[in-house]
Structure 1
């Protein structure tokens, strides 16, 4: 059954988009809880009021971090100052900084430290700073880390492994407390050459603000005839001006609110638009707070989460489906085929290469552990369409479809393209309208089962004698058949009452399966903000063969419990779709 696509033809205002982008960019860096955030929130809500869109601003405490002063002074062999920027949630050196010799350690992976004594040193890492490199450096006993970008830019980042605000002191203690800075590639190459010759010594000053702040989360509501709704979100905090990350997306949401508002009450389902604070500064703390606070409503009525990030950039000519779960991937493909320019095969292949995953057999467009994907425990299906640069565009980051100015001081107004943003807005508005007015929701749960089987294939290859994996495979195959039968029968439904009941069953089944497919912890918690794979609770099976006997026995206990969790979700979802 082809997904429903509405005939909605929005008249997008290029001028309104450009005005919003210019206004919000001019506010500068928008750290959650700051005056700049308050000004951005006031602008967004004033426009919503002007458009007659019902809205409210949630104000709550969130744990926020941001660098305030970062300096890198070369002391030997010859004094010089290197321009640097800081990261969130690293260590604070105080104004005096930390002084130490510098050692280059490649990408800074654990293997890069093998056989090397770097205790007390500052390490030079051939990558922008991230948590994995910081954790490896701490284990090696270093006192600081300097990350090197891919070009002349310097990226502000976060190194927190915590998703959202910390819930315990033990969780907060997981922050990698060492001094961290980000420098350009030319400066990094010079420092690597000096380090190779020996005698390179620096003083690194890394100061930051970190703690609880009151932040603002504006949410607009466009009601439908029935209770379920599509959730659309974009983060509105930024590093530097943040024009294309993520002010263009904020303007897109605002324009979508204007375009969709006249249909309030006429669509079958509602639309909820949220501007998240605390994306990088709080490691997705805004969307995590929303998921925690409105868990039951989202679980019962959330149709899908449509994340909006990386749109309207200069030169971003290809539309890339990403962070899309299997059950909505058919809808996304159909919508892009109908609403966007065709993507050449070469560009589609390039996009797929940039969206790498840990999983061997899983589609690379599946959601990764980032991008405000705070709704896995709730069970919401998620999707995202970003505008990527072409493969031969020299402006993109290596092995990425996004531009080099991401998270840098160069992400300024000139990096946005109003025409591309207008096209992106039309695509998003039509996709949201299609989801919110679908007679039968385009959720292909047989495809969800296909993702389970793809993940199980890798686990079975690693642990072929683990019978519980074969049992899960059988259960997933049985559910896939049930879902296919349900979808075939539902395609013949025409009246509102029967399609509404079918849609409710689809949502309940999806909300049972997605938490076990994407999350290792309970549905009411958030996994760590580190790379993950599908059916993550089964990940110990990958290393089972190499474990010591007692460790393997304990792992098998945990795997049996995880088997029960997954099997229960499949059984309940099967009963839902099998019911008369």
Structure 2
């Protein structure tokens, strides 16, 4: 860090941040969207911003919300067992049938066409072996998720019931599916899940469950405030620093800690605003837990052009400062991976392990279509810790009443906050934006080369374009010389707009992929190529998949051609 960066980052006061966490957890623990405490949480945030000289806006956003309202589950055979259960979707109807366990995508493929009337049981994760939508299409009667966590813990998870059919406020078709055709879904604890799984592995298991969600129209309250040099107007570039202030009770780590980090970051950056070249737009979003990411998606839909022209990064802070978490995790668009890693290393040094991954479609990160790159940096548990907790990389207490103040360590909270601050300072003061698309196109080339070598589908033309683009990028990133910063930044933003939607979405620029889609590999928009392996050449499904792939391939090739034009004319 240089002297200016260090001076700014060192202003972070963890005692102030901790007082914000305490207030949210102790005074406003039940701040799920649609509750009075969620509105009070927004007012609390706005009051703290005004105290430091920032004038916020509270934006009420119409939202379709859901609140858990009871669930039951009972095994009838091979032996009667009552199992504690929490609801995900449903209207209280009793669902009876055979329980079928699916733990891997391969098992899902093997059971394709055999799920009619079955109750599908899967382990909870951020990447399902079979999605609820696919289970619905195959005629499943219901779905049960087994919570992550250690085998001797049976904590029930409270989940967002609105995220499996749509993202943001639903259109009429998504609303109809969600309300009329959605299969009932429930959650059971890890210990219960393993008991049910073991029974299913031994033989036929039958029983029933019911799940009831109280759904209603309500308001999600979003708080927005800008920090930046006094001379910048509405047409200035900006980054977004966001956290969700709605939480399940009591929501200490998820996301009282994130709100606290952003409030203190706002204070620090407001004091240093004259040293910045760009604005920071703070967004305390809501509808995150039980409204399908309502406010951040509303903001995207209603500020589309401003985001396309001026947004440089979506930085999300969620679950920072875990106690007993010795590592760090970065999820970022590939063009910002090296930048984010450098920021983290400059704060914490060489010792802690830092895991860097491609950005994924979770939380409020719905900005891939519009083309705004993102960074999500947080403290992380070791793989051994997560494995011992059944894969619970956010802690086995996540989304439960066990998410109490002891789950946050003030020292880790401060370390994470200093990284996020340094990212913001550098993004908003850099002469030239730190996007490096060479890493982005390298990932695309590797995926295309794998498909081409596999031989099931010809991507040689697309691969040739990606290689040509890589060559032009090498020239573009050559010696800076007398490069015009403003023109270069416009080119970099335009590249992000062209490449993000093909590299991080299925639905493209204007749609929203649902929660749980798999973005682990580049060019997910062409993922249908992988499905060819499961269908005979020349079969109807093979032919239909090839038609879809060709259309998606055209999208990718158009984006690559546009990107080549951008870097060659810059």
TM-score (norm 1): 0.85
Displacement of 1:488 after TM fit? 2.2
Q: Does 1:415 align with 2:410?
A: no
Q: In 1, distance between residues paired with 2:118 and 2:182?
A: 14
Displacement of 1:137 after TM fit? 4.6
Greater mean deviation of Cα atoms: 161-170 or 47-56: 161-170
Displacement of 1:115 after TM fit? 9.4
Task: State the partner residue of 2:524.
Answer: 536
Task: State the partner residue of 1:355.
Answer: none
Deviation per residue, 1:313-363 (Å, 9 max, x gap): 1112212111x111111111211121123345xx45xx46xxxxxxxxxxx
Structure 1 unaligned regions, length at least 5: 353-364
Q: In 1, distance between residues paired with 2:79 and 2:390?
A: 32
Q: Does 1:337 align with 2:345?
A: yes
Of residues 141, 144, 151, the one that matches 2:142 is 144
Paired residues, number? 551
Q: Does 1:447 align with 2:439?
A: yes
Q: In 1, distance between residues paired with 2:112 and 2:275?
A: 67
CA distance change for structure 1 residues 342 and 79 in 2, over 3 Å: closer, same or farther?
same
Q: Does 1:328 align with 2:336?
A: yes
Deviation per residue, 1:134-162 (Å, 9 max, x gap): 34554564433333223312222346132
Q: In 1, distance between residues paired with 2:391 and 2:194?
A: 20
Kindly report which structure 2 residues correspond to 1:126-137, keeping only aligned pairs within 5 A, or say none: 126-127=123-124, 132=130, 134-135=132-133, 137=135
Q: Does 1:107 align with 2:131?
A: no
Displacement of 1:100 after TM fit? 2.9
Q: Does 1:562 align with 2:552?
A: yes
Greater mean deviation of Cα atoms: 121-130 or 143-152: 121-130
Kindly report which structure 2 residues correspond to 1:35-54, keeping only aligned pairs within 5 A, or say none: 35-54=36-55
SS in 1 for 2:269: helix
SS in 1 for 2:33: coil
CA distance change for structure 1 residues 554 and 343 in 2, over 3 Å: closer, same or farther?
same
Q: In 2, distance between residues paired with 1:115 and 1:329?
A: 38
Displacement of 1:399 after TM fit? 3.8
Q: In 2, distance between residues paired with 1:124 and 1:541?
A: 28
CA distance change for structure 1 residues 260 and 396 in 2, over 3 Å: closer, same or farther?
farther
SS in 1 for 2:99: strand
Task: State the partner residue of 1:173.
Answer: 177
Q: In 2, distance between residues paired with 1:333 and 1:197?
A: 47
Task: State the partner residue of 1:361.
Answer: none
Deviation per residue, 1:372-407 (Å, 9 max, x gap): 221111111111111002344479633454311111
TM-score (norm 2): 0.87
Q: In 2, distance between residues paired with 1:3 and 1:539?
A: 43
Q: Does 1:162 align with 2:166?
A: yes
Structure 2 unaligned regions, length at least 5: none
Deviation per residue, 1:142-191 (Å, 9 max, x gap): 43333322331222234613222212325641576233222223333445
Q: In 1, distance between residues paired with 2:347 and 2:333?
A: 20
Contact 1:3-1:330 at 8 Å conserved across structures:
no
Q: In 1, distance between residues paired with 2:3 and 2:502?
A: 28
Contact 2:104-2:129 at 8 Å conserved across structures:
no
CA distance change for structure 1 residues 165 and 459 in 2, over 3 Å: closer, same or farther?
farther
Task: State the partner residue of 2:227.
Answer: 222
Deviation per residue, 1:238-284 (Å, 9 max, x gap): 22211111111111111110110012344111111111212232232
Task: State the partner residue of 1:24.
Answer: 24
Displacement of 1:476 after TM fit? 1.8
CA distance change for structure 1 residues 216 and 115 in 2, over 3 Å: closer, same or farther?
closer
